[in-house]
Amino acid sequence: MATIGEHAVVLGASMGGLLAGRVLSDYFDNVTLVERDVLPDSPAQRRGVPQGRHAHGLLSGGLQALARLFPGLPEELAADGATVLAGTDLSLVSLTLGGHTLSLDGEPSKPIESYLASRPFLEAHVRDRVRAIDNVHILDGHDAVELLMDDTRRVTSVLVADRNGGPGRAIAADLIVDAMGRAGRTPAFLESAGFGRPAEDRIAVAVAYSSQLLRFAGNTPRDRLTLVGPVPERPYGGSLFAYEDDTWLLTTAGMNGHEPPGDLPGMIDFVAEFMAPELVESLRGAQPLGPVATFRYPASVRRRYERMVRFPDGLLVFGDAICSFNPVYGQGMSVAALEALALRDCLDRGADDLGRRFLRAAAGCTNTAWQMASGADLALPEIPGRRPASIRVSNWYTQRVLTAAEDDPVVTEAFFRVMNLVDPPSRLLHPSIVRRVALGASRRRRSGQPAHAKPAVAVPH
């Protein structure tokens, strides 16, 4: 394909930056990724990704997008030890959402494959693929200090500085992409340059995490993934993921001031309230690998760049720099992968008005995940925020979908596909699904069971 520029610079070389760099390499002669951390040559935790020690999910929609960007990557992840959740069998998954344990024992009509692996493992594989691209250069150990503009108000270069000292230097580019996450400086830059700041949607979730990497010597759990989400009566939950190299990650999370313990015995006692006794007993015999990691996440933030009246040429914003999701829902990496495909589609149509076109396309990638995450957050009365009629109606219907999904594998499959960003939410409004949801609620009323179940424990296997 024809190139549309000589040089593109991506600020940040975490997952979002790596994915942006992969796409840009097909359209620019050279691509430079600027990263403040000195990047490792193998999977390793690093300072710039403090959340990397906690549970990360690669949703099926994100996995499919990665496979399009890096052919053969899913098979490579599996060969190197990632846990594969086969798309034709969900029986090794236990999900309790909104107090409802979903029926996952049936065979889905279409495969819904996903992989479980640590953030460093996944990021290292993607980084190796990007490093192997001939026209991509990674400048690590450098800070992006300032964006620079010319007299036409176009962003033309970025001032970078070596973190080991020395004078800064300007790197000129036809396009600069801010992929620095929620700490990106683009809003402040736009305001200082006279463009104004983007409006923000913010939900103060105040999530606190504790995570422990484990290995089981015996009595290994059957389920590869167990997840119990918060409910109004209990704004906290936990998960257990099977990772690479026969390791497992236990993550506990509380919202709005509910902090999980920072030691493994306390974490196990914490999850004993809502996880199956057999699973808790297995955890008591597990071997901890390293110390417990903690992390706090104050608020989900969506910056509405697509609504700005003016936006400078030569600049894009990508990934978490656009929308930083409540990490409880594991959406960030998958949305970034979908944004990368959207960026490729925009570049196929040339460079004219690229920034505005991409920001509108990225908003489309973000909408579904944001609606699901914000709706789930605002279903908890402890979380502050406006609850317009659209949220209340959506949460009312979602509760009924989850009620039906306890017994109906067809509804479960439909919900699972939407949750994994494979199908749009409108799938749950298909007449065949609405009919099954109504029948599920009717069966509950006839049996005398409450429509809103109390928190359920994961089904033991």
| pLDDT tens digits, one per residue of 106-161 | 777 887 888 899 999 999 999 999 999 999 999 999 999 999 999 999 999 999 99
Rounded mean pLDDT, 205-223 = 93
What is the separation of C-alpha 62 from the centre of its chain, rounded to a whole number of angstroms? 9
CB crowding 93-118: b at 16 or more within 10 Å, else e: bbbbbbbbbbbbeeebeeebbbbbbb
Paired strand residues for 288? 214
pLDDT band at 458 (very low <50, low <70, confident <90, very high): very low
- Least-confidence region, from 102-111, 206-215, 247-256, 389-398: 102-111
Query: Quick check: 425 and 418 in contact, CB under 8 A?
Result: yes
Rounded mean pLDDT, 346-353 = 93
Q: Which residue has the tokens 């597990």?
A: 286
Domain with CATH 3.30.70 in the chain: 206-297
Amino acid 444: pLDDT: 64
**Which of 388, 389, 410 has its CA nearest to residue 401?**
410
If one compares 215 and 88, the residue with the highest pLDDT of the two is 215
| pLDDT tens digits, one per residue of 161-179 | 999 987 889 999 999 999 9
**Which of 209, 13, 212 has its CA nearest to residue 128?**
13
**Which of 412, 409, 430, 429 has its CA nearest to residue 420?**
412
If one compares 39 and 448, the residue with the highest pLDDT of the two is 39
How many Cα atoms occupy the beta-carbon half-sphere of 414 within 13 Å?
22
| CA 89 – CA 225 distance, rounded (Å) | 13
Amino acid 457: pLDDT: 30
Q: Does residue 379 surpass a pLDDT of 70?
A: yes
Token pair, residue 170, equals 């300007």
Beta-strand relationship, 236-242 and 225-228: antiparallel
| CA 14 – CA 158 distance, rounded (Å) | 18
DSSP assignment of 57-71, as one string? -B-HHHHHHHHHHST
Rounded mean pLDDT, 281-301 = 95
**Torsion-angle region of residue 206: left (phi > 0), alpha (psi -120 to 50) or beta?**
left
**Which of 170, 95, 110, 182 has its CA nearest to residue 139?**
170
The DSSP element (H or E) to which 203 belongs, if any, is strand 200-203
| Percent of residues, the chain, with pLDDT higher than 90 | 79
Q: E strands of 263-400, at which residues? A: 287-288, 293-297, 300-303, 315-317, 323-324
| pLDDT tens digits, one per residue of 392-411 | 999 999 999 999 999 998 99
Q: Does residue 344 surpass a pLDDT of 90?
A: yes
| CA 382 – CA 447 distance, rounded (Å) | 31
* The domain over range 5-74+119-202+299-373 is classified in CATH as 3.30.70.360: no
Residue 403 φ/ψ, nearest 5 degrees: -60, -50
| CA 266 – CA 3 distance, rounded (Å) | 56
- Least-confidence region, from 14-18, 183-187, 284-288, 400-404: 183-187
Q: How many other β-carbons are positioned within 10 Å of the β-carbon of residue 154?
A: 12
Rounded mean pLDDT, 55-76 = 94
* CATH top-level class of 206-297: alpha beta
H helices within 242-321, ranges in order? 264-271, 277-284
Amino acid 460: pLDDT: 26
pLDDT band at 57 (very low <50, low <70, confident <90, very high): confident
Amino acid 451: pLDDT: 44
| pLDDT tens digits, one per residue of 73-91 | 999 999 999 999 876 678 8
31: three-class secondary structure by DSSP:
strand
Amino acid 461: pLDDT: 24
Please report, for residues 39, 83, 123, the alpha-carbon distance to residue 420 in angstroms, rounded to integers and kept in the order given.
Answer: 30, 17, 20
pLDDT band at 1 (very low <50, low <70, confident <90, very high): low
Q: Does residue 98 surpass a pLDDT of 60?
A: yes
Question: What is the pLDDT of the chain when averaged over all its residues?
Answer: 91
Amino acid 455: pLDDT: 33
Amino acid 23: pLDDT: 98
| CA 129 – CA 269 distance, rounded (Å) | 41
